[in-house]
Chains A and B, each alone.
Chain A
Amino acid sequence: MIPAVTREDLKIIGYNLGKICYVTGAVLFLPIIVAVIYSEFDTIPYFLIGSAIAFILGCLISHFLYTKKEMELKHAVCMAALAWLLAPILASVPILLSNATASGLDACFESVSGFTGTGLTLTLDIDHLSHSINFLRHFLQFFGDGIGIIVVSLSILGKTEMSSVLAFKGETKDMGMRPSIVRTSRMIIKIAVTFLIIGTILFTVAGIKAGLDPGTAVFDGLNHSMTGYATGGFSTHSQNLLYYHSVWVEVAAIVVMVIGAINFNLHYVVLGGRRREILKNIEVRVLLFMLLTFGLLVSANLLFTNFYTSGEALFRKCVFHVISAQTTTGFQTVSPSHFMLLWPVFSMVLLSAAMVIGGSANSTSGGIKMLRVGVLLKSFWGDVKRALLPKTAVVRGSFHNIEDTPLTDTVIKGAAMITISYLILFSVGTAITAAHGYGLEDSMFETSSALGNVGLSCGITSPSMPAMLKVTYMFLMWAGKLEIMAVFVLFGFVILCLRKGIKK
């Protein structure tokens, strides 16, 4: 029998949420540096107010819910689910105060989209947005999704290693390879900062080649590198990467997107010297297979319908969007209306499938994850072999993810459960969108983009879309980021509170 929720349980969750408030407050402080550099002094109060609210809330929670007790897994999972709601709400304050969005709901949407690394945007006029607010949008993606706000919060402010280890599990970043949580956090930050610098250099050089002045190229480069590595997809321009009309910017984006979609554990072993691991890994193999298959099919579809006729156009419009969708980044080089009005249904459905499948487990990308798809494909192939072989034959499956892992029923069940949950949420989201009068393929496309934390849009996501859809997509982004299971655990926790009450 599941024990009733106690006051101490709530205190443990609340106390750790207080730490998230502190770190969110610190994150909101950083854009002030950008505001000073660009002499945008009028925006500084927005960040100060947002930061102050986060710090005060953190102080109050830490004071009133102070506890010495350790977190257990149930606390960590509920805390992670609530943290991904609380942090975006706090971060939406400067966005709301700066009038970057039309309403408080839109500011929350923008912030949830940022923290979860989605990239769907409701900002009114991105091209004329202040540098500091623009930087905040991009930094939310890098810090929230690229590094992982919960892990960093508890690694820095956590009382014990245990709370941080559990937070990793709650945040679905199971990094069981490193000897200590501090080393793990350091490694995550080191990898993120290294690729941030490389990405910034690539984007800056590409931007200068595209005709930007060096100052703008560096600012855009830094922001796109942050959102590219976080597989977020926010851009400093309303037209996203289409603004540049530059193949060099698109190549830079592909490099950053693919690296962002690689498993942290794989980064760790490859950067540690096991370079051959990169081609042996099941997720990299699935990524290559999916990219080439989807790329081939989408390109062939758009070529033979005479939509694009040159090899360059196919690469820049078809392959680019397949990579953007599969890595769940959401960088776009065609306008949203192109997708909705001109692209064939077949290509739209394939892009939706790529978005649902997503990138690697333990990476910044969303979706079902290629590891699970690989496990299910291997299991399927095992069943086919079992049917063809004599009855007495024993079929033992395994897959290579850093190390050889046996394909047990538990592993297959876990992968199947998450996949089924994703598909159920995908169907519900598509039905709700279609009920608002949008076409089925457009509804599938936008739903898979929100659920897979992608950010590609066919134009449904706009400030004028119904509030019900905004809330639906916010829920999908949140559930997708938490890989659904944490959401069910939180719901179970709430139902337990309501049914059995809170005991002392």
Chain B
Amino acid sequence: MGLRKFSLVNFLKKNFNFITGILSEIGLTLLIIAVAMFICLLLVFIKSAP
């Protein structure tokens, strides 16, 4: 009927760069969150140290 069969593997292959690019950007934000969280905990630790 003119409709092509959807293949997840083909879709992922075709959009590999786009998907990994998005994951890289989300990874950057998660890195910022992790480092920021670490700094906050470190500050609390420094303050509470005798």
| Chain A residues at the B interface, C-beta cutoff of 8 Å | 194-195, 198, 251, 254-255, 258-259, 262, 267, 270-273, 275, 278-279, 284, 288, 291-292, 295-296, 299-300, 303-304, 309-312, 314-315, 318-319, 323
Contact = CB atoms under 8 A, between A and B. Distances in A.
A259 B29 contact: yes
B36 to A, nearest CB: 4
A270 B33 CA distance: 20
A194 B15 CA distance: 13
A309 B40 CA distance: 10
Contacts of B25: 259, 262, 267, 270, 278
B43 interface: yes
B44 interface: yes
A263 B17 CA distance: 18
Interface string B8-50: 0000000001101110111011101101110111011001000
Contact of A314 (B21, B33, B43): B43
A319 B42 CA distance: 14
Across the A-B interface, give the 8 residue pairs with the lowest CB-CB distance, nearest first: A271-B21, A273-B17, A314-B40, A311-B41, A258-B29, A319-B36, A311-B40, A270-B21
Q: How large is the interface on B (under 10, 10 to 19, 20 to 34, 35 or more residues)?
A: 20 to 34
B49 to A, nearest CB: 13
B29 A303 contact: no
A133 to B, nearest CB: 31
A304 B36 contact: no
B8 to A, nearest CB: 18
A272 B17 contact: yes
A254 B32 contact: yes
B21 A275 contact: yes
A381 B29 CA distance: 28
The secondary-structure label for the interface of chain B is helix
Contacts of B26: 198, 255, 259
Contacts of B32: 254, 258, 288, 291, 323
The secondary-structure label for the interface of chain A is helix
A314 B29 contact: no
A244 B47 CA distance: 30
Given A198-B22, A271-B17, A303 B44 contact: yes
Contact of B24 (A258, A278, A295, A314): A278
A310 B37 CA distance: 11
Given A273-B20, A304-B47, 5 more contacts: A278-B24, A292-B36, A299-B40, A303-B44, A323-B32
Given A270-B21, A272-B21, A319-B36, A303 B43 contact: yes
Given A270-B25, A278-B28, A304-B47, A315 B18 contact: no
A291 B20 CA distance: 25
A295 B21 CA distance: 27
Given A258-B29, A295-B39, A314 B44 contact: yes
Contacts of A309: 44
A242 B8 CA distance: 40
Contacts of A262: 25
Contacts of A258: 28-29, 32
A303 B43 CA distance: 8
Contacts of A275: 20-21, 24
A194 B22 contact: yes
Contact of A254 (B22, B33, B39, B44): B33
Contacts of B36: 291-292, 295, 315, 319, 323
A408 B36 CA distance: 35
Contacts of A288: 32
A275 B26 CA distance: 12
Contact of B40 (A251, A267, A291, A318): A318
A271 B39 contact: no
B39 A299 contact: yes
A259 to B, nearest CB: 6
B45 to A, nearest CB: 8
A270 B20 CA distance: 9
A315 B38 CA distance: 9
Nearest to A279: B28
A273 B22 CA distance: 10
A254 B39 CA distance: 16
A443 to B, nearest CB: 29
Nearest to A268: B21
A129 B35 CA distance: 38
A303 B39 CA distance: 12
Contacts of A284: 28
Contacts of A310: 44
